[in-house]
Amino acid sequence: MKDKIILDGTRVATDVKEKLKARVDHLKNVGVTPCLATILVGNDPSSATYVRMKGNACEKLGINSKRIHLPEETTTEELLAVINELNQDSEVHGILLQHPVPNHIDERKAFETIDIEKDVDGVTSLGYGQTALGFGMYPSCTPAAIIAIMDYYGIEAQGKHAVVVGRSPILGKPVSALLLNRNATVTTCHSYTENLADHIGSADLVVAAVGKPNFIQGEWLKEGAVVLDAGYNKGNIGDVDYEACLEKASAITPVPGGVGPVTISMLLKHTVEAAEKKVKEISMN
């Protein structure tokens, strides 16, 4: 029996960030410091923690972090005005609007206001469309992280049957598109899917993105399947029953320490790429 591979996201994220260091240094040598602007609306403690983690990760790599914290009562129009100001700011290369925003705000309208050149979190419909067609600059960060983990560990998608459980616009749908672009045969499952266990049982590659703790059971898996758990639930629990799935899987991401750390490193990578793109455009003019 082949050894099982624990897909160590912390290791992958460290590798990504180490490769980015030289690129950040090069940008600074030509007078440009990559800058990510994060917008937090309201006082959700989990959102505040995520924004702080992203800001700290930027600063450790030498990327500027511009943090904007707006009050809970901020209107959609006020939020759009802040985003438009950042769109116009030549020193800002990436914009991240922390999800979720308060219920009274039109979140989709806010996402769509982000300039495609600065959509480093992959939340605009234009960015999603470009990703699906195979030429998107910045895919949503968690789908990008899943692909980065597969690349790091040499996991091929071509010719494999991938089952994605979840169809959210920033995870399930874009990761299905990315896998399809890599010549996998993709089944996207969701809350209306009948006989879900049967679909998962035929999968060579399972992506869990359903937002339910311990939802995917080990007995559903085909022997030797690769399991990528993008779920993160209260108590540091993923979407798969880890111990049970470990018995059947050939490779699996843990939670925590799997997809999560790589997601943040993809945000940093996209921000650096956006800064590089801006420098190239300036040099060509």
Choose the catalytic residue: 8, 17, 54, 118: 54
Beta strands across the sheet bearing 5-6: 5-6, 251-252, 226-229, 205-208, 161-165, 185-189
Least-confidence region, from 72-76, 101-105, 162-166, 281-285: 281-285
Amino acid at site 213: P
Say what the pLDDT of residue 1 is. 41
Per-residue pLDDT tens over the stretch 4-49: 899 999 999 999 999 999 999 999 999 999 999 999 999 999 899 9
Check if 19 is active-site: no
Say what the pLDDT of residue 2 is. 61
Per-residue pLDDT tens over the stretch 105-158: 999 999 999 999 999 999 999 999 999 999 999 999 999 999 999 999 999 999
Choose the catalytic residue: 8, 98, 173, 239: 98
Cβ burial of 45 (10 Å; 0-12, 13-18, 19+) is: exposed
Say what the pLDDT of residue 283 is. 81
Say what the pLDDT of residue 281 is. 87
Neighbouring residues of 110: CB distance < 8 A, sequence distance ≥ 6: 76, 79, 80, 83, 97, 101
Is 141-259 the same fold as 32-115? yes
Do 190 and 235 meet the contact criterion of CB atoms below 8 Å apart?
no
Check if 158 is active-site: no
Answer CATH for 32-115 from 3.40.50.300, 1.10.1670.10, 3.40.50.10860, 3.40.50.2300:
3.40.50.10860
Choose the catalytic residue: 8, 17, 119, 121: 121
Per-residue pLDDT tens over the stretch 184-228: 999 999 999 999 999 999 999 999 999 999 999 999 999 999 999
Mean model confidence pLDDT for the chain: 96
Kindly list the domain boundaries of the chain, sorted by start residue: 32-115, 141-259
Check if 98 is active-site: yes
Quick check: 262 pLDDT over 60? Answer: yes
Say what the pLDDT of residue 274 is. 98
The CATH fold assigned to 141-259 is Rossmann fold (3.40.50)
Q: Cα(39)–Cα(69) distance, rounded to whole angstroms?
A: 6
Q: What angle do CA 22, 141, 278 make, to 5 degrees?
A: 50
Strands 94-97 and 226-229: unpaired
pTM score over 0.75: yes
Span 88-101, average pLDDT: 97
